[in-house]
Structure 1
Amino acid sequence: MRLLLLLFYTFSAISCTSSTEDQRVECLPGTDKNSCTALGCIWEPTESPAPNCYLPPQYGYSTLSDLYEIENGMAIDLEKSTSISMFDGDFEKVTVSFVHMSENLLRIKMEPVDEKRYQVPITILGSEEPPTTMNYEYQITKDPVFSFKVVRKSTGTVLFDTSLGGLTLADQFLQLAVQLSSSNIYGFGEQEQPSLRHDMNWKTWGMFARDHAPEGDANLYGVHPYYMNVEPDGNTHGVLFLNSNAQEVTMTPAPGLVYRTIGGILDIYIYLGPTPEKVVGQYTASLGRYEPPPFWALGFHLCRWGYNSVANMKAAWQRTLDSGIPFDVQWGDIDYMDRALDFTYNPTDFQELPAFVDELHEKGMKFVPILDPCISTGEPAGSYPPFDEGNTQDIWVKDASGNPLMAKVWPADYCHFPDFFTSKTEDWWLNQLANFYSTIKYDGIWIDMNEPANFVTGSVDGCQENKWNNPPYKPKTDGGDSLLDKTICMDATQSEGIHYDVHSMFGWSEARATNRALREITGKRPFIISRSTFVGSGKYTGHWLGDNWSEWDNMHFSIIGMLQFNHFGMPLVGADICGFIGNTTEELCARWHQLGAFYPFSRNHNLLESIDQDPGVWGLDSIVARAARNALKTKYALLPYLYSLFYKSYNEGGTVARPLWHEFVTDQEALGIDTQFLLGPAVMVSPILDQGKTKRNVYLPGGENTVWYDAYTFERFSAAMKILEVTSDLNNPEDSTPLHIRGGYILPVQDPAGNTAQQRETRTLNLFGYLDSEEKGTGEVYLDDGESMDLTLYTHVKFMVNPGKMDFEVVQDAYTDAMNWKIDYIRLAGISQNIDKVEINGEAAIFTYNPEYQILDILPENFMITGANSITWTSSASHQQSP
């Protein structure tokens, strides 16, 4: 075994340290020449954004041993090499482990010797058996200090190189500088990033869960210290820093990054890919994948904070229905509650809410209420079970003195936060949700304010002065000099440890508890949307992008956030359509509906003080109602395709919404595009994002043999033209979101109906084939009952077109009702020869052929989707045309 392991590392005595400005690693306490040199660091002022005070080449750790064998890997022991200490508490001796998790997953763990440190309580899964071959190797350098490189074996590309120096392992300050394979880096969150590809000019992003509206570079609700890097040859890898403490990352022009955190250990996972979709698939396989949501969850959702009565809620609901807009889910924000108390409803203004929810269900629609985690302490004893039972079971987060921490959120009285890390808290949460369900038959749960958010700093009683509440270094996070702003004391205690360590996992733990509860209560696939998320939250919940602004640039930012969360393994994601904060305008709301219809999670939602913005309020024939109606009818038509993408993501890994470069990773222009996106490999969405515009340029990725089709007209375009000008005029009743379909794909679609229940009742599909330049195409559809928890009970059918023939393959047939689903209509675009005969399973079929658009339409009879079907066509003449 040792000989086998030795094949995957090498030693080197070559120093790779450079003193160029782009490769400096900042000596953080050095704010001027005197403080810098007193630390032993180098002071060289520069006019660039590079640090003036930086660490010398000899800073870091020296090797105490050669690499030695450990279980499933190798390790090496180190000792601190200099007396320089930026923030004290440095660990003198550490061990670096290289653990072979699978052939495409390497774990690198750096921790002090003989000292127990907090580690994130999430298990990262590798292969079931130790890998015998690896697609990576690691190279160790000893001079001037320890560093290592991770190399892709097949190409020799260096993926992760720590020779920039700066390695620090201290009690409350850990740092690692990394040279990247290229400057095409994507990820890290959650913030409102202005571009999907990172700015490498010394830009720093903080990560610490916080209740903050998306704005500037503030750290937001979730923490995802994960990135993807596209290598120069187009191969792609991903890297996770598994850490839940407050942290930051600085992008440098090297190209590189400097990662810093103030607790735990450095625990790094490198995913080899090599394609972008394989990277995401490996990442989600190691953490747990998001299940396909209930089918209805992909429909249109409507909410606002400020209905103030069930009558106003019903009015907005009715306006939407009257506008002819496909519509599935009505939501309730905190104003439905009795005095902001969880698991209650207002007995006066929302007295009829249970009856309204029943009415929704009768019409095939759903209801989702909000819940906040902080439980009021002010109700009379015995009158409010959530508090009384929580007290009896001792489930609360405790302050440093061991008493339940007292916070202030929406209820009038002070409140306690549950510690969702304990099983007894999960049981308590389940019981409260079950009791609530007996009153209101909700269909999903919206969990909010779970960073956790607090309206006072730390607690009502304040926080102690100690190293947890006042760490020696605070990463670049919002809230001034304090980590306590808008949340709870860092020395509060939970079952997993002090809040300092687990703060950013609060939403993760609540989502896990909610997921379990909904499974047991409803017996159906759970639907949950959470504001705060962490690494692995996609196993339990979807996400919306928070309290965005009713401003034009926020539409662009929402595309970036949606694509990032697909990278993070959370494909059910979207932003508040028309914006949450401020008053939208008619034009902005119309354009946002054209975009938001194609978010995987499509919800219109806004703020208490803002005007109504449901699409019907503008008038039944307003540009907003028309835009929403047109775009959502298209989205509903695509739901079989979109739902199949979620199944494929769950079964095989990968994204639902993805950037263009995922499919065209060697297209240099595509690497920087984030105003267009793909749904799966085939559907390209190119919304108009600018005020007053009716046209935009659409970039067509791919080579000269790549074909794109207008989704509405079936007009063909070659990617060789690269730029296509499109028009979407809100004053034209027929115009909608610019969509293009990639040649080579067959999409399962349905005729849109008023809601998904009505749409599914037809049990019919249509197939739209957009053939490539060789007149070939593939597609697939997953069918199930739309809500079952048993995710093996599906039927999976593939479609394959080759010149003159279309075949159907039933890959799995476990959904019993699939035998009743049929295909009503098939359209194949891109057939260049006149067709004079079509046969289905050897029998003549009804068809038409349009030679101008090269479209073959087939009208089968009793064409059941699970049959052993084959379609052939022949031509009597040929008149080849170029796309």
Structure 2
Amino acid sequence: MGKLTSLLLFALISAANAGPRFDCLPEPNGNQGACEARGCIWKEDDTGKNAPWCYFKDGVGYKLDSQQGTTYNLRKNSGPSNPWGADSTEIKLTTKTIGSVLNVHIGIDGRYEPPVDFPRETQSSDESLTLSTSSSGDFFSFAVVRQSSNRKLFDTSIGGLIFSDQFIQIATYLPSENMYGWGENTHQSLRHDFTKYLTWAMLARDQPPNSGSLDTMNLYGVHPYYMILEPDGKAHGVLIINSNAQEVTTAPGPSLIYRTIGGNLDMYFFPGPTPEMVTQQYLKFIGKPFLPAYWALGYQLSRYGYKGLAEMKTRIQAVRDAGIPIDIGVADIDYMQRYKDFTTGDDWAGFSDYVKTMHSWGMKLILIFDPAIEATYPSFQRAMAANAKFIEWESKSQVQTAIQNLYPMAKDTKIMLGVVWPDNHVAFPDFLDSTNNTQNWWINEFVTYQSQVPFDGIWIDMNEPSNFGTNQDHPWYFDSDDHPDDAPLFCPTNGSNLWEMPPYKTRAVWRFGDANNGAFLSTNTLCMLAQQDGGKQRFYNVKNLYGLTEAIHTQKALLKATGKRGAVVSRSTYPSAGRYAGHWLGDNTARWEDLRTSVIGAQEFNLFGIP
């Protein structure tokens, strides 16, 4: 009995020591001194669960200050402080129901909220979710409870709530390890792994998938949504409407830790109770997927690197001669004149006639278009004449005038010029422009070009948005025979600008290193301090919406240009993007492991509402 008692005591002590750890030093190259300087605990992980070695002391959170109906006014408690900025002294939790959907909103009035027009329609359910709260002295927590089973679906008694201007964290115990969703990442299994700590980055990035091994890096889009299958077989879903750089940590417990560096926490709980009903409720809320043309579901032939129209003809004819079904030909940027949108290259003379031949065979054509517009040619000239807007610097004092002065049409403007495939610098259309000038110009460009090359569908790429060589003295294209040595975009990363150098940079940066080796939020994209919609929106907040907003206007362009619904396919997506476009899983390497993870990705995007 003595040995048994000792074993039980050892097990209890081990369990206590294996409690949840909230990472206090996620930056690369952390050490014990840096950890303890933050007032946190340093303890190596000997469990094999990849737990943080530096973690917060207990008591992180808020206490209840007052309550008025379904509004809870919270005040920072006496627990540990946030090392990434001053804690917000007062925050507010409000709750409401939208049909069967429960909304829990945590934050501060007047802070940024994503400008996304969700239908917010409801799908009926016999299930009901309620909010239960607990306030014990210095600590407040809440749980979302399924009334029929009294099961806690989201339980914040785990602690860890932090709210500051540029760092927000919420944590929860989960009712089951059967969790699916979150993205966009390359997951090695459809079900998440709760045997160890894993942090998944979420910031839209021009980053090809790595299917060969576990890699938690962020890819092209952002989907802060998951579904859980509970122990009794019932299911629920959770959406967090936030468009800032963010991350989620799955951990033993099972537990979940969500972090973001802006906005508020706007959470929606979908009660199901079946997975099918959860998906119906979610799609009613964010918007049901668009119905593509029937032909868009057919067999496609796509490749990058056609040397001209003759090669495309040869490839398509080879497929036809072999008796292999083919419904759609897809042309990548090779068809353009030096990679400029709405142009046709010299090696593609006769493209229009060939498309008519394809149509006579019952085939369709999809063309690729990038958002960036070179600052030298008629499309940009027409944009300026139409008062279309482009992503801009905050002020003229920030403009890289040595670049701007190269282009008469961009000179003396605040347009932020970058580098992608074209030979000269490019500008990025502002698809959040509330004047509609940008939308109208964009639509007209497609209408005009479709009268020259009668395409049937549109593939929009590079819309994270991608930019080559940001903040690099020697970007990769300096060594390319197919690209001039255009001066790269530089953001103010060596100063105190909190948009470029926020106190908490998220795993979207730290996965790739730190500032010492050129890892920033602006890496491969534009500067975070950039502005959109005449200064009403900050790129730091809305970057993850760029692909969605481009898709909205491109769907309108396709309908006006062709008179038919056709199909739009977008690389970057965000919740509700399925209303306007499909998605493909990116630039994989065509290996068996890519085929395996593509099956998982396709299922996840069905959950996300992009079948």
The TM tier, using the shorter chain, reads 0.7 to 0.9
The Cα of 1:551 is off from its aligned counterpart by 1.4
Aligned amino acid, residue 566 of structure 2: P
Q: Aligned-pair distance for 1:521?
A: 2.4
Partner of 2:499: 468
SS in structure 1 opposite 2:310?
A: helix
Q: Distance in 2 between matches of 1:491 and 1:394?
A: 20
Separation in structure 1 between the aligned mates of residue 512 and residue 66 of structure 2, nearest angstrom: 43
Supply the distance in 1 between the matched residues of 2:254 and 2:332 (Cα, whole angstroms).
Answer: 45
Partner residue, 2:445: 432
The SS at the match of 1:358 is: helix
Deviations along 1:442-472, one digit per CA (max 9) or x if unpaired, are 1010000000000121693411231101111
Distance in 2 (alpha carbons) for counterparts of 1:20 and 1:514: 54
Q: How far apart are residue 392 of structure 1 and its match?
A: 4.6
Which residue of 392, 395, 404 maps to 2:415? 404
State the distance in 2 between where 1:467 and 1:389 align. Answer: 32
Match of 2:205 in 1: 210
For residues 338 and 509 of structure 1, the distance between their equivalents in structure 2, rounded to whole angstroms, comes to 26
Distance in 1 separating the partners of 2:97 and 2:459: 39
* 1:217 Cα deviation after fit: 2.6
Question: For 1:396-425, what per-residue CA distance to the aligned partner results, in whole angstroms no more than 9, with x for missing partners?
Answer: 100132510010001000000000112221
Asked if structure 2 preserves the Cα contact closer than 8 Å seen for 1:331 and 1:367, the reply is yes
Supply the AA of the counterpart residue of 1:178: T
Aligned in 2, Cα 1:160/1:166: closer, same or farther, shift over 3 Å?
Answer: same
Residues 391 and 142 (structure 1 numbering): CA distance in 2 closer, same or farther, change over 3 Å?
farther
Give the deviation of 1:525 after TM superposition.
1.5
Letter in 1 for 2:174: L
How far off its partner does 1:126 sit? 4.1
Residues 621-770 of structure 1 correspond to what in structure 2 (within 5 A)? none
Deviation at residue 127 of structure 1 after TM alignment: 5.0
Q: Radius of gyration: which is bigger?
A: 1
Query: Which residue type is aligned with residue 231 of structure 1?
Result: E
| Cross-structure match for 2:12 | none
Verify the 8 A CA contact 1:25 1:165 in the aligned structure 2: no
Q: Are the aligned partners of 1:245 and 1:263 in contact in 2 as well (CA < 8 Å)?
A: yes
Assess if the C-alpha contact under 8 Å between 1:505 and 1:534 holds in 2. yes
Q: More relative contact order in 1 or in 2 (CA 8 Å, sep 6+)?
A: 2
Residue 136 (structure 1) aligned to one of 129, 140, 147: 129
The answer to whether the 8 Å contact 2:469/2:489 transfers is no
> Following the alignment from structure 1 to structure 2, what is the Cα–Cα distance between the partners of residues 292 and 471?
41
Q: Secondary structure at the match of 2:95?
A: strand
Task: Identify unmatched segments of 5+ residues in structure 2.
Answer: 1-14, 397-413, 472-486, 515-519
- Residue 119 (structure 2) pairs with residue 81 (structure 1): no
CA distance in 1, matches of 2:385, 2:526: 19
What CA deviation, in whole Å up to 9, does each residue of 1:160-185 have, x standing for no partner? Answer: 01111110111110001111111111
Q: What is the one-letter code of the residue matched to 2:351?
A: L
Alpha carbons 1:57, 1:145 under 8 Å: kept: no
Counterpart among 431, 436, 452 of residue 465 in structure 2: 452
TM score, norm. by length of structure 1: 0.59
Q: Is the contact between residue 376 and residue 387 of structure 1 (CA under 8 Å) also seen in structure 2?
A: no
CA distance in 1, matches of 2:319, 2:257: 49
Matched residue, 1:388: 382
How far, CA to CA, are the matches of 2:455 and 2:577 in structure 1?
22
Who is 1:242 aligned against?
A: 241
The structure with the greater share of residues assigned to strand is 1
CA change 1:132–1:445 in 2 (3 A) is closer
Match of 1:484 in 2: 522
1:183 is matched by which residue type in structure 2?
Answer: E
Aligned alpha-carbon RMSD (Å): 2.0
* Same amino acid, percent of matched pairs: 41
Aligned to 1:95: 92
2:370 alignment counterpart: 372
The separation in 1 between residues aligned to 2:386 and 2:185, in whole angstroms, is 39
Please list the CA deviations of residues 285-316 of structure 1 after superposition, one character each: whole Å capped at 9, or x if unmatched. Answer: 10111122111011101111111111110111
Deviations 1:77-133 (A, max 9, x none): 001113612211321100001121122x11111112xx521111124444579x999
2:22 aligned partner: 25
- 1:441 is matched with which residue? 454
More off after superposition, 33-42 vs 264-273: 33-42
In the other structure, the counterpart of 2:158 is: 164
Q: How far did residue 57 of structure 1 move?
A: 2.9
Corresponding residue for residue 588 of structure 2: 548
Instruction: Tell me the distance in 2 between the aligned counterparts of 1:503 and 1:291.
Output: 23
SS in 2 for 1:175: strand
Change (3 A) 1:561 1:467: same
Q: Normalized against structure 2, the TM-score is what?
A: 0.85
Match of 2:52 in 1: 51
Alpha-carbon offset, residue 479 of structure 1 = 4.1
Q: Distance in 2 between matches of 1:46 and 1:218?
A: 23
Q: How far off its partner does 1:44 sit?
A: 3.6
Structure 2 vs 1, CA of residues 406 and 259 (structure 1 numbering), >3 Å: closer, same or farther? same
Aligned AA for 2:134?
T
Tell me if structure 1 keeps the 8 A contact 2:386–2:437: no
**1:528 shift after superposition:** 0.4
Equivalent in 157, 182, 187 of residue 188 of structure 1 = 182
Partner of 1:357: 355
- Is the contact made by 2:389 and 2:429 (CA closer than 8 Å) also made in structure 1? yes
Amino acid at match of 2:171: A
Distance in 1, Cα, partners of 2:385 & 2:513: 34
Match of 1:494 among 527, 532, 535: 532
Paired residue secondary structure (1:65): strand
Summarize the Cα distance change of 1:427–1:86 in structure 2 as closer, same or farther, 3 Å threshold: same
**Corresponding position: 1:110 with 2:148:** no
Q: Choose between structure 1 and 2: higher helix proportion.
A: 2
Task: Determine helix, strand or coil for the equivalent of 1:393.
Answer: coil
> Which deviations, in whole Å up to 9, do the C-alpha atoms of 1:13-62 show, x marking residues without a partner?
xxxxx954242222237944444444343344331322233223322101
- 5+ residue gaps, structure 1, are 1-17, 572-883
Kindly state the Cα deviation for residue 362 of structure 1 after the two structures are TM-superposed: 1.4
2:502 and 2:555 map into 1 onto residues whose CA distance is: 34
Count of aligned residue pairs for this structure pair: 540
1:298 and 1:548 map into 2 onto residues whose CA distance is: 21
Paired residue secondary structure (2:66): coil
What's the offset of the Cα at 1:363?
1.5
Residue identity matched to 2:602: M
The reply on whether 1:285 has 2:313 as its aligned counterpart is: no
Code of the residue aligned with 1:263 in structure 2: it is G
Q: 2:190·2:600 contact (CA, 8 Å) conserved in 1?
A: yes
Q: 2 CA distance for matches of 1:19 and 1:268?
A: 30
* Cα displacement string for residues 818-867 of structure 1 (whole angstroms, at most 9, x for unaligned residues): xxxxxxxxxxxxxxxxxxxxxxxxxxxxxxxxxxxxxxxxxxxxxxxxxx
Residues 394 and 529, structure 2, Cα contact 8 Å, conserved in 1: yes
Kindly provide the CA deviation profile for residues 700-756 of structure 1, in whole angstroms up to 9, marking residues without a partner as x: xxxxxxxxxxxxxxxxxxxxxxxxxxxxxxxxxxxxxxxxxxxxxxxxxxxxxxxxx
Question: What per-residue deviation string (whole Å, max 9, x for no partner) do you get for residues 761-796 of structure 1?
Answer: xxxxxxxxxxxxxxxxxxxxxxxxxxxxxxxxxxxx
Q: Would the aligned equivalents of 1:301 and 1:327 in 2 still touch at CA under 8 Å?
A: yes
> What secondary structure, in the 3-state scheme, does the structure 2 residue paired with 1:154 have?
coil
Q: CA deviation at 1:550?
A: 2.1
- Aligned-pair CA distance for 1:569: 0.3
Change (3 A) 1:119 1:353: same
Structure 1 pair 278/302, CA: closer, same or farther in 2 (3 Å)? same
Residue matched to 2:334: 335
Equivalent residue number for residue 590 of structure 1 = none
The letter of the residue matching 1:324 is G
> Which one-letter code corresponds to 2:207 in the other structure?
H
Shift of 1:387: 3.7
